[in-house]
Amino acid sequence: MGACCSCFDAITGGKHSGESSQEMTTRNSARGVPPASHGLSRAMSAPTISIQGFKVSGSGLALTRIPVEQDAAYWEIHVSIPGQTAPSGDEDGDLQDVDVNDDGEEDPYAVKFGVATRKDREFYRSLETVEEEGDQASSRDDGTFLMRPISNLRHGDVIGVAVMQSDLPMIQILLNGEPLLECFINRFRGTVYPAVYMPAGAGGEGERVDDEGMSLNFVFDEDEFKEMSPHARFGPLLVAQGII
């Protein structure tokens, strides 16, 4: 994006001294350490999730490879549903037919957005055991505690996620540029990763699409954002390459 040095300074708290991030990355490559990069984590995502580049489909929890380490970060998830066209606005320009679950009765088909802590194969094996026994896992147990559901998503919807580690609310979720106040999360602890949860049969109300009908595309490149972050201090999620 043409601002790598300044972005790196934002992480380290000022001008970095000694060697540049490029020099550190080259040094690590020489040691056999591959440079970090954005992308979806196959190892931390559910076995039932399909990953193609930055696009996820299927069902279950999907996490990215890069954690949120900077103070203020923003990224987007773009919704794609084959056979649908992007919804038109009403006379005031507001998009219709999208609901947020704030009535205490959660839509089992609602897609969840936010962040999640690190996951591994043992986590998914334990979750599968709970489901096989006929029990229903809580949001803490299924990894979606730091996520919020949005119902009736349509083709072309843009979900923005903004994380601020030094102020409240720490997690903000936006739909097509509009903040969803009922989806804000005040606090979290520990290392978190951008994440989504796609239930089986996710899709619009009335006619549910099959598991592969909806796909979600993670966007971390500022040039590809379709909406504005809630504040100028929220920059795109950075990859802290070469930091040991």
pLDDT surpasses 90 at 151:
yes
- Written as six digits, the tokens of 30 are 């020489």
pLDDT band at 2 (very low <50, low <70, confident <90, very high): very low
d(CA 80, CA 77): 10
- pLDDT for 18: 42
**Chain mean pLDDT for the chain:** 79
Q: Is 149 helix (H, G, I), strand (E, B) or coil?
A: strand
What backbone torsions phi and psi does residue 89 show, to the nearest 5 degrees? -85, 165
pLDDT surpasses 90 at 134:
no
Structural contact between residues 60 and 53, judged by C-beta atoms closer than 8 angstroms: no
Work out the average pLDDT over 53-57. Answer: 96
pLDDT band at 36 (very low <50, low <70, confident <90, very high): confident
- pLDDT for 103: 43
d(CA 211, CA 2): 38
**Minimum mean pLDDT range among 81-95, 146-160, 222-236:** 81-95
Structural contact between residues 220 and 236, judged by C-beta atoms closer than 8 angstroms: yes
- pLDDT for 117: 96
Work out the average pLDDT over 194-218. Answer: 73
Strands 72-80 and 60-63: unpaired
Work out the average pLDDT over 39-43. Answer: 96
pLDDT surpasses 80 at 62:
yes
- pLDDT for 217: 98
Structural contact between residues 237 and 162, judged by C-beta atoms closer than 8 angstroms: no
Q: Is residue 2 exposed (0-12), middle (13-18) or buried (19+ Cβ within 10 Å)?
A: exposed
The DSSP result for 27-76, as a single string, is: HHHHTT-PPP---B-TTTS-TTEEEETTEEEESEEEEBSS---SSEEEEE
Identify the residue whose tokens are 């559910």: 46
Q: Is 150 helix (H, G, I), strand (E, B) or coil?
A: strand
- pLDDT for 14: 44
What's the predicted TM-score (pTM) here?
0.76
Per-residue pLDDT reduced to its tens digit, 83-124: 877 666 544 444 444 555 444 467 888 999 999 999 999 999
- pLDDT for 44: 97
- pLDDT for 84: 78
pLDDT band at 139 (very low <50, low <70, confident <90, very high): low
pLDDT band at 132 (very low <50, low <70, confident <90, very high): confident
